[in-house]
Chains A and B, each alone.
Chain A
């Protein structure tokens, strides 16, 4: 590993940790969410420097969208209005401490215990292709199944959470067009 990469790793890794600590010490919902986002963006950078730019960029891309949407929900559903009041981000302190210590210890042990494979051959020009083949080659069935399970979960959760069903929208005989909605959509179904 050359000097530039090492410097970059430090410059990304340290902020990632600092922002990670801030997630638990800040007292505003919005700030906590965006501290977490900043931490994850740094992690994306770390992954990129480690030679997997595709995964690194995808982490940045997905985490920004995810965290912004999460901020909306966290703030909407906080019991004190809009998450505006200063609040502590720590709950169940003792249990959380035990669990996080055990997980941390296990992960650190993993670093030393796992027999990491040695460096074999030159780095490929484009690791994206390699990552794709590794995931989609032998594991195609797993990935396809996972994809559908995730999608089905999202659709199912939304359907369960929605109070209004198709009978509310289309009437008892499902023949009312356009649908009766509180706010009409753009296609006019």
Chain B
């Protein structure tokens, strides 16, 4: 059903990801303006992008004894991994490369963020930045296993790691409907690997910005872009995994993919604003004591259904 796209999809997929991320940023900015009592018009939506010329112009600054190589590598990894993750996400019925291990590819790219953020915290040789990097690892140890089991639930349901197969296997009934725990845990995971909203712990304001505290200019821009790109990539991936991909009545497949992606993105942006931050020391215990058993039980459901078939 899902096919690998022509060469130009290699450019189109990142471009679409950037557009989706920009849309999320703009929506968040409009809601910000409304809360702050400013006029919430199209001008408010464009305000965050004024940071672009500023970031490109800002002179880099260095603290004593930084590890510049690792710092830069870490900062670059975050947005690059987000872009690479889109290779396997089908839009309508076309993915850039519908790998036979697509789910694993997405997961591996997402895990690269661990290395990226830790390095971004380690690089500048500053206390708050380092604590921020460590915080992401603490958060990672909490969110990653439930997220993996959520992905495994979907893959088990379709008996395939190919994202296209998973989307096709949901003819009639979305996985979001009969695997609600996996779906919710997956959405929480998206917020976590985007380190946004309730999972913005590594960039906490109590640490003067954490991993962002010593990033200025382009470094700051890349990390900020990385988190919103991840949010958009996570939203796009939720569609084939849990919402039936491009399937739907009347409209063509690409339109359904777009509509569903935007809906998930909207839900995520609202969650980012509605929920206060969850500290890792609290979330780790919840994840290991409650979420992991829950998601394992959730994985058992499609496994049993497959056996009965």
Q: Are B289 and A58 in contact (CB under 8 A)?
A: no
Distance in angstroms between the alpha carbons of A58 and B161 in the assembled complex: 12
Q: Judge whether B161 and A30 touch: CB under 8 Å.
A: no
**Could you tell me the distance between the alpha carbons of A57 and B115 in the complex, rounded to whole angstroms?**
16
Given the complex, which residues of B lie within 8 Å of A65, measured CB to CB? Answer: 111, 114, 140, 144
Contact B118 A61 (CB under 8 A): no
> How far, in whole Å, are A137 and B283 apart by their CA atoms in the complex?
37
Distance between Cα atoms of A95 and B160 in the complex (Å): 47
**Assembled-state Cα–Cα distance A2/B108 (Å):** 26
In the bound complex, CA of A58 to CA of B103 (Å): 11
- A72 is contacted by which of B67, B69, B134 (Cβ under 8 Å)? B134
Chain B min CB distance to A5 (Å): 15
Is B171 an interface residue, CB under 8 A from the partner? no
Range class of the B interface residue count: 35 or more
Q: Closest chain A residue to B123 by CB distance?
A: A30
| Residues of B contacting A186 in the complex (Cβ-Cβ under 8 angstroms) | 281-286
Q: Is A68 within 8 A of B100, CB to CB? A: no
Query: With an 8 A cutoff between CB atoms, is B137 at the interface?
Result: yes
B253-286: which residues lie under 8 A (CB-CB) from chain A? 281-286
B111 and A61 contact, CB distance less than 8 A: yes
Which A95-131 residues have a C-beta within 8 angstroms of B?
125-128
Any A CB within 8 A of the CB of B101: yes
A30 to B122, CA, bound (A): 9
> A54 touches which one: B67, B104, B144 (CB < 8 A)?
B104
Contact of A57 among B101, B119, B137 (CB under 8 A): B101
Q: What is the bound-complex CA distance between A48 and B133, given in angstroms?
A: 30
The B-contacting residues of A in range 25-49, CB under 8 angstroms, are 28, 30-31, 34, 37
Residues of B within 8 A of A187 (CB): 285-286, 289-290
- Which B residues are in CB contact (< 8 Å) with A183? 281
Number of interface residues of A (CB under 8 A): 29
**Nearest CB to that of A60 among chain B residues?**
B108
Is there contact, CB below 8 Å, between A72 and B111? no
- Interface flag for A9 (CB, 8 Å): no
Q: Which residue of A lies closest to B165 (CB)?
A: A126
Q: Which residue of B lies closest to A54 (CB)?
A: B101
Residues on B with beta carbons closer than 8 Å to the beta carbon of A31? 67, 69-70
Give Cα A174–Cα B283 distance, bound, in whole angstroms. 25
Nearest chain-B residue to A56 (Cβ)? Answer: B101
Most chain B C-beta atoms within 10 Å of own C-beta, residue among A61, A69, A184: A61
Contact of B70 among A34, A67, A72, A126 (CB under 8 A): A34
> Interface readout for B116-133 with A: 1 if CB under 8 Å, 0 if not?
001100100000000000
Complex contacts, A127 vs chain B, CB 8 Å? 100
Using an 8 Å CB-CB cutoff, how does the interface string of A60-89 with B read, 1 for contact, 0 for none? 110011011101100000000000100000
Is A20's beta carbon under 8 Å from chain B? no
A189 touches B289 (CB 8 A): yes
Residue of A nearest to B287 (CB): A186
Minimum distance in angstroms from A136 CB to a CB of chain B:
13
Known contacts A54-B101, A54-B161, A128-B161; decide if A28 and B67 are in contact (CB<8 Å). Answer: yes
In the complex where A30-B67, A60-B108, A69-B137 touch, is A128 in contact with B289 (Cβ < 8 A)? no
Give complex CA distance A31, B286 in Å: 33
Given A31-B67, A31-B70, A34-B70, decide whether A53 and B101 contact each other with a Cβ distance below 8 A: yes
Is B220 an interface position by the 8 A CB rule? no
Interface centre among B104, B114, B122 (most CB of A within 10 A): B104
Residues of A contacting B134 in the complex (Cβ-Cβ under 8 angstroms): 72
- Asked if A185 is at the interface of the complex by the 8 Å CB criterion, the answer is yes
Residue of A nearest to B290 (CB): A187
Within 8 Å CB of A67, what residues of B?
A: 115
3 tightest CB-CB pairs across the interface, nearest first? Answer: A185-B285, A186-B282, A186-B285
23 pairs, A vs B, C-beta closer than 8 Å: A30-B122, A31-B67, A37-B115, A57-B107, A60-B108, A61-B108, A65-B114, A65-B140, A67-B115, A68-B114, A69-B137, A69-B141, A125-B100, A126-B100, A128-B100, A183-B281, A185-B282, A185-B285, A186-B281, A186-B283, A186-B286, A187-B285, A187-B286
Chain B contacts to A: CB under 8 angstroms? 65, 67, 69-70, 73, 99-101, 104-105, 107-108, 111-112, 114-115, 118-119, 122, 134, 137, 140-141, 144, 160-162, 281-286, 289-290
Task: Name 13 extra pairs, CB < 8 A, besides A64-B112, A185-B282, A185-B284.
Answer: A30-B119, A31-B70, A34-B119, A57-B107, A57-B108, A60-B108, A61-B111, A68-B137, A69-B141, A126-B100, A186-B283, A187-B285, A187-B289
